[in-house]
Amino acid sequence: MQSKKLGWLLLSPTLFILGLFGIFPFIYVVWVSFHEWNPFAANPEKLFNWAENYRKVVFDAQFLASLGVTLAFVFFAVVSEVVIGYLLAQAFMKNFPGKSFFRTIHTLPLIMAPIIVGSIWKLMTTPSIGIIPNLLDTWFGIDLNIGQSALAAFSITVIMDIWHWTPLVTLSLIAALVSLPSDPFEQAQIDGANKRQVFWHITLPMIRPALIATVFIRLMDAMRTVDEVLMLTGGGPGSATRYVGVHIYKEVFPRTNYGYGSAISVIVLYLSIVICWLLYVSLIAPRNKKG
Amino acid sequence: MKRSNPWLAVLFWTFLSFLTLFPIYWLFVISVKPAVDLFSTPDILLTAIDWQNYVKVMNDSTLRGYMMNSLIISTGNAVLVTTLGFLACYALTRFDLPGKESVFFWTITNRMAPPAVFLLPLYLLLTQVYVIGDFKLADTHLGMILVYCTFNLPFAIWTLRPTLDGIPKELDEAAVVDGASAWKVISDIIFPLARPGLAVTLILTWVFAWNEYLLAATLTNFNARTLTTGLSEYVTTTGTEWGVMAAISVFTLIPALIVFGMVQKHIVAGLTFGAVKG
């Protein structure tokens, strides 16, 4: 039995740093969310206005629409990333010539900055000067205009996210898959289990912790996407790709509604925490306690 | 089980690599195109190469400084969060601490914060609150290393936990019974077994820190400006210099590639480790 003191000691630097840079800013944002405040104005005074900001958020059609498109974006992007990422990780379990070379290539998008990814996809998809609309037009006669079609803009942001982040899923799942013991798989083969049974009854339960950790990370990061989408579409056309991260950014910077932006942030953060907490309690916590 | 043809796999991966590489190829194309050609109908193949954007970037000494800052900040941050995350996960998986699941969950909530609104409180903390004498955390390497912990430390803890959970507790319990100190258990038993997971965490947190933009753009103004903020300096009132931006982007890729190449060896070492164990 090891002493609890040592356990807390090992945790303390983490708690200390996250406390200094996580809790204080959070308290500040909650406090500001009860004020009307434009810090960039000539007279930057905080006016306490009770829960006015929160009342506004609930009736803010733009925010609610933004929440809707965000959930759609997160859903399509994360589900595709997990499915494709798993299939690719599984494909890397086999041996074939040039494996590590291909693995390196497949990981390249991951090392690119979101702001660069946003710029490059903007350059590739801008109507008339972008390569993708041009090729689609000459090869298939498809007119892709992310400046006008909401669906096109939405799809391109999803595709960009898939291109950028699938390697993260692949990489973590490779790490999980290689550390699996081979006995259960050999046993399953002897017992004549088919591929689907092996996947549902052996692979999935065994990689579950790593899989869930990866899904969580992707879920959270997709929820707060800003730079990439801001660069690519600026939230447009209209508000088709105005995801909550972008929405908050636009409230705070061009429109300088700092108090209102804070209220939205608190609500978004609260929603993310509730969603993740529910998933966590039902999926991970029981497992950790058992172990 | 039927054996698939390995060359079929090669064909598949070659095709996929074209899809993966195309945006990066296009970044390169933009970076070597003369500015006038940018706004004409694009050609998929390069017709002429013009290195002037690279010459411009190479001669820009501020960008060299930015690159150094980026290297210091992301390396410092990745090493710090991987170490702290490793120790924290050891505590979380090996000790029976009251409320540890809540602590564990709380760490991750730090990554959920929508960044735009948190820029200002962090700025105030760094310029006005965390001040020791004349020393301010704002615009210093240390300040950025600590601020990046808010999103990287939760990540490290979350990716390392399954790794440490996967290491049988009997191994270190036996060592404790034999009288090994906690430090010895961590360094001699847990660390070698957790190496593949640590390598993945190190490279990913490094990349996240290297690529961060919003925080760096707000919290630094001269001494600790990073390479990604250098990009935005080419968005000017007279229009964006896409060519130069692309050339800088290519430069930001190179160190990331080198770091990735170095750490990938350890991931591969992890691969053989898995094979030996299985």
pLDDT tens-digit readout, A45-64: 778 888 888 888 888 888 89
Cα distance between the two ends of chain A: 16
Query: SS3 for A221?
Result: helix
Q: What is the rounded CA–CA span in Å between residue A22 and residue A17?
A: 8
Q: Which residue of B has its CA nearest to A92?
A: B9
Closest CA to A121 of A100, A142, A144: A144
- Residue A157 pLDDT > 90, yes or no? yes
- pLDDT above 70 covers a percentage of chain A that reads 96
From residue B141, how far is each of A72, A265, B160, B183, B219 by CA, in Å? Answer: 38, 28, 26, 29, 11
What is the chain B residue with the closest CA to A130?
A: B42
For residues B27 and A117, is the Cβ–Cβ distance under 8 A? no
Mean pLDDT value across residues A126-141? 81
CA-closest candidate to residue A206, choices A234, A184, A231, A238: A184
Hey, which residues 59-78 in chain B have their CB within 8 Å of chain A?
none
Q: What angle do CA A73, A76, A77 make, to 5 degrees?
A: 75
B132 DSSP β-pair partners: B135
Mean pLDDT of chain A: 85
Distance from CA of residue A210 to its chain's centroid? 16
- Both tokens of B16, joined, read 């996929």
Instruction: Point out which residues pair with A221 in neighbouring strands.
Output: none
Query: Where, residue-wise, is CATH 1.10.3720.10 in chain B?
Result: 60-277
Give B64's Cβ-side CA count (13 Å radius). 7
Q: How far apart are CA A51 and CA B157, in angstroms?
A: 35
- CATH fold label, A62-255+262-290: MetI-like fold (1.10.3720)
Mark yes or no for CB contact A18/B110 under 8 Å. yes
SS3 of residue B223 by DSSP: coil
Nearest residue to B9 via CA among A220, A93, A36, A190: A93
The CATH superfamily holding the domain B60-277 is MetI-like (1.10.3720.10)
Long-range contacts, B34-43 (Cβ 8 Å, 24+) = B34/B243, B35/B241, B35/B242, B35/B243, B38/A129, B38/B242, B38/B243, B39/A129, B40/A129, B41/A128, B41/A129, B41/A134, B42/A129, B42/A130, B42/A131, B42/A134
Partners of residue A176 in chain B, C-beta under 8 Å: 162
Tokens 């925080």 label which residue? B215
pLDDT at A77: 95
Q: Do B87 and A11 touch (CB under 8 A)?
A: yes
Q: Chain B: give the shortest CA distance to residue A97, in Å.
A: 7
Backbone torsions φ then ψ of A83, nearest 5 degrees: -65, -50
CB-nearest to B108 from A100, A209, A216 is: A216
Token pair listed for B73: 């900040």
CB within 8 Å of A176: residues ≥ 6 apart: A89, A207, A209, A210, A211, B162
Q: Give the domain ranges of chain A.
A: 62-255+262-290
Per the CB < 8 Å rule, is A288 touching B103? no
Contacting B residues, span 195-234, partner chain A, CB-CB under 8 Å: 196-197, 200, 204, 207, 210-214, 228, 231-232
Chain B: give the shortest CA distance to residue A142, in Å.
16
Sorting pLDDT into bands at 50, 70 and 90, what band is A70?
very high
Say whether A124 and B23 touch across the interface (CB within 8 A).
yes
Give the residues of chain B that fall short of pLDDT 70.
1-4, 235-239, 265-278
Q: How far apart are CA B149 and CA B110, in angstroms?
A: 9
- Is the CB of B126 inside 8 Å of chain A's CB atoms? no
A208 to chain B: nearest residue by CA? B162
- Provide, as residue numbers in chain A, all residues whose Cβ is less than 8 Å from the Cβ of B277: 179, 181
Q: Which of A189, A185, A166, A197 is nearest to A76 (CA)?
A: A166
Nearest to A21 among B98, B105, B150 (CB): B150
- Rounded to whole angstroms, how far apart are CA atoms A38 and A25? 18
Contact in structure between B145 and A196 (CB atoms under 8 Å): no
Instruction: Report the pLDDT value the prediction gives residue B1, as an integer from 0 to 100.
Output: 43
- Both tokens of A155, joined, read 């799809």
ipTM higher than the 0.90 cut: no
Asked if residues B136 and A8 have their Cβ atoms less than 8 Å apart, the reply is: no
Instruction: Give CA A171 to chain center in angstroms.
Output: 16
pLDDT score of B22: 92
- Measuring CA to CA, which residue among B66, B19, B116 is closest to residue B249? B66
The band of A285, judged by pLDDT with boundaries at 50, 70 and 90, is low
Among residues B147, B86, B231, which one has the least CA distance to residue A113? B231
Mean pLDDT score, A214-238? 86
Task: Judge contact between B95 and B176, C-beta under 8 A.
Answer: no
pTM, two decimals, is 0.87
CB contact under 8 Å between A119 and B249, yes or no, is yes
Which chain B positions have a beta carbon within 8 Å of A252's beta carbon?
Answer: 116-117
